[in-house]
């Protein structure tokens, strides 16, 4: 189904070879997991398979690339036989509604309207999208991810490519995705999944391929995969095969319709100092539909408060409220005084789910300079080294891998000197080593006395970082 033979690829304007002698053969009906450290070439390998390299990305390509037993010369033909789910689904949407997005590929291939309606209905039922009405922009990141997965399979391609498909999914969403992948395997589809989170794939993968510096460095069979020890995985910089068991943490001092009932044995945090961030009567919604309703919540300074809950519970909406980007009723207080939206925008640093939307300059160094306080500029080299970005100061931010971009924006937040710092799903595209360095960076921010809010579904990250938990529930 896929043949990559001695492939070398360099993006135009870059002197670094991204894929360097990559050899990979994926057989029809096989499920192959590609893993490895951030920047090892996983996303670029997927772009070879769906034809985006070299038809959409400019650069120098050497070697042989064949998909469905044919050279990748016709992008439209490759689109018929492949479906792709990107790490950040907003980048792949062509319409503004769930049903039209699901129908998009079928319409482009000239499928009769009755069959389009029938097939869209089948996929909506299979992926549980019946309640997803209105604009795609109003869906949470995890809900958008589910729509992207559904849209990729609607036209029935024999080859499906997934780039970090669980990056924004709740545990329930991961279970649904796992079920969908299992059904696709049973139907004979060929699956290639680039992932850092491996636990949900241990019973699905036929082969596990580890990429390092743009080539295959190690390969394991289906039988060998479950036998890998924690030490072996750690040596390759890979995450564990079992879902981490999170220890109990104190509940955030909060109540209201959006706050889930406590599930921890630890008591709630008591009243803190005036520098804590306090929400009172915060409510907001979209088009008359309530999305967030918090009667009161206290987010302590000097600690990391994890905001968790299912997709669509209002976690990113809460981040936007705290950052002054979302209209709402009620008030947000800091130092015991109400903080206007304009003031919150000045006092808050936000690491978004899709960090490409907040990269503005033409070099890593310039990006740090733009976001850092002058008194913190001298700390930049140490922060870059901690996050594995040393030596990349002259690189254009958009030339970095997804994980490197994520860590760059985390670095700018670390140097911003803001009193409130919000990390919204910061671990997508982040390997085991950098998960720990990112945690240390967030801890350093908290130690400055800042209010640190971590919005995440990533149990690995939550286990390492969370001091308090504010669990939200969908209204």
* Chain segment 162-214, per-residue pLDDT in tens: 998 887 788 888 888 888 888 888 889 999 999 998 999 988 999 999 999 99
Same domain, residue pair 355 and 378: yes
pLDDT confidence tier of residue 267, bands split at 50, 70 and 90: very low
Query: Residue 25: what pLDDT?
Result: 96
Of the segments 91-95, 329-333, 431-435, which one has the largest average pLDDT value?
Answer: 329-333
Lowest mean pLDDT, pick from 262-266, 294-298, 425-429: 262-266
Asked if residue 78 and residue 181 are part of one domain, the reply reads yes
CA-nearest of 134, 456, 155 to 291 is 134
Mark whether 221 and 259 lie in a shared domain.
no
262 and 132 in a common domain = no
Query: Angle at Cα 154 formed by Cα 148 and Cα 159, nearest 5°?
Result: 85
pLDDT exceeds cutoff 70 at 9: yes
pTM of the model: 0.84
Rounded to whole angstroms, the Cα distance separating 16 from 60 reads 11
Q: Does 240 score more than 90 pLDDT? A: no
Residue 441: which domain range? 250-471
| pLDDT reading at 269 higher than 70 | no
Share of the chain above pLDDT 70, in %: 97
CATH code assigned at 372: 3.40.50.300
Residue 456: pLDDT band with limits 50, 70, 90: very high
Closest by CA to 387, choosing from 400, 399, 398, is: 400
- How many structural domains is the chain composed of? 2
| Statement to judge: residues 273 and 210 lie in one domain | no
Residue 244 inside a domain? The answer is no
- Please report, rounded to a whole number, the percentage of residues in the chain having pLDDT higher than 90: 57
Are 212 and 81 in the same domain?
yes
Residue 102 pLDDT level (bands cut at 50, 70, 90):
very high
Q: If you ran DSSP here, which 8-state letter would residue 246 be given?
A: P
Radius of gyration of the chain measured on its C-alpha atoms: 22
Q: Taking the CB of residue 178, how many other CB atoms lie within 10 A of it?
A: 16
Q: Are 216 and 24 in contact (CB under 8 A)?
A: yes
Is residue 188 located within the same domain as residue 289?
no
pLDDT at position 176 is: 81
Task: Check: CB of residue 384 under 8 Å from CB of residue 365.
Answer: no
Among the candidates 209, 235, 261, a domain finishes at 235
**220 plus 191 within the same structural domain:** yes
Q: Name the pLDDT band for 223 (thresholds 50, 70, 90).
A: very high
Instruction: Tell me, yes or no, whether 113 lies in a domain.
Output: yes
* Kind of pairing between the strands at 82-85 and 70-71: unpaired
* Model pLDDT, residue 234: 87
pLDDT given at position 265: 41
pLDDT at 274 over 60: no
Question: Which tokens in the block code for residue 5?
Answer: 């033979």
Report the candidate in 179, 185, 172, 127 with the shortest Cα–Cα distance to residue 154. Answer: 127
pLDDT tens sequence across 430-447: 888 888 999 999 999 999
């Amino acid at each position: 189904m896929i043949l990559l033979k001695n492939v070398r690829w360099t993006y135009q304007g870059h002197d670094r070879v991204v894929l360097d002698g990559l050899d990979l053969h994926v057989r029809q009906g096989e499920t192959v997991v590609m893993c490895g450290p951030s920047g090892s070439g996983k996303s670029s390998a997927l772009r070879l398979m769906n034809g985006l390299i070299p038809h959409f990305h400019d650069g120098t390509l050497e070697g042989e690339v064949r998909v469905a037993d044919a050279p990748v010369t016709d992008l439209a033909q490759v689109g018929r036989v492949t479906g792709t789910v990107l790490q950040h689904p907003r980048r792949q949407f062509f319409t503004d509604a769930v049903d039209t997005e699901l129908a998009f590929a079928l319409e482009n291939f000239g499928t009769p309207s009755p069959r389009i309606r029938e097939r869209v209905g089948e996929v909506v039922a299979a992926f549980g999208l019946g309640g997803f009405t209105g604009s795609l922009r109003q869906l949470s990141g995890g809900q958008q991810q589910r729509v992207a997965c559904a849209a990729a399979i609607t036209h029935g391609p024999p080859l499906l490519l997934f780039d970090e498909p669980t990056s924004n999914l709740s545990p329930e969403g991961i279970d649904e995705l796992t079920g969908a992948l299992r059904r696709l395997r049973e139907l004979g589809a060929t699956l290639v999944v680039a992932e850092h989170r491996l636990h949900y794939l241990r019973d699905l993968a036929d082969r596990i391929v580890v990429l390092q510096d743009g080539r295959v460095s190690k390969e394991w069979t289906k039988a060998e995969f479950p036998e890998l020890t924690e030490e072996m995985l750690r040596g390759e910089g890979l995450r564990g095969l079992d879902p981490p068991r999170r220890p109990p943490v104190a509940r955030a001092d909060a109540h209201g319709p959006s706050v889930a009932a406590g599930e921890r044995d630890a008591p709630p945090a008591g009243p803190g100092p005036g520098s804590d961030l306090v929400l009172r009567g915060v409510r907001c919604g979209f088009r008359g539909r309530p999305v967030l309703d918090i009667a009161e919540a206290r987010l302590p300074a000097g600690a990391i408060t994890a905001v968790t809950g299912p997709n669509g519970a209002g976690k990113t909406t809460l981040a936007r409220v705290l950052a002054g980007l979302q209209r709402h009723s009620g008030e947000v207080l800091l130092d015991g005084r109400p903080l206007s939206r304009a003031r919150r925008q000045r006092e808050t640093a936000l690491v978004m789910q899709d960090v490409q939307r907040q990269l503005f300059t033409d070099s890593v160094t310039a990006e740090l300079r733009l976001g850092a306080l002058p008194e913190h500029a001298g700390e930049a080299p140490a922060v870059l080294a901690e996050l594995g970005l040393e030596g990349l100061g002259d690189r254009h931010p958009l030339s970095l891998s997804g994980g490197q971009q994520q860590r760059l924006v985390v670095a700018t937040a670390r140097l911003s000197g803001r009193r409130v710092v919000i990390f919204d799903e910061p671990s997508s595209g982040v390997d085991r080593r950098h998960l720990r360095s990112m945690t240390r960076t967030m801890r350093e921010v908290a130690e400055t006395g800042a209010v640190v809010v971590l919005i995440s579904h990533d149990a690995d990250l939550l286990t390492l970082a969370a001091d308090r938990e504010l669990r939200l529930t969908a209204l």
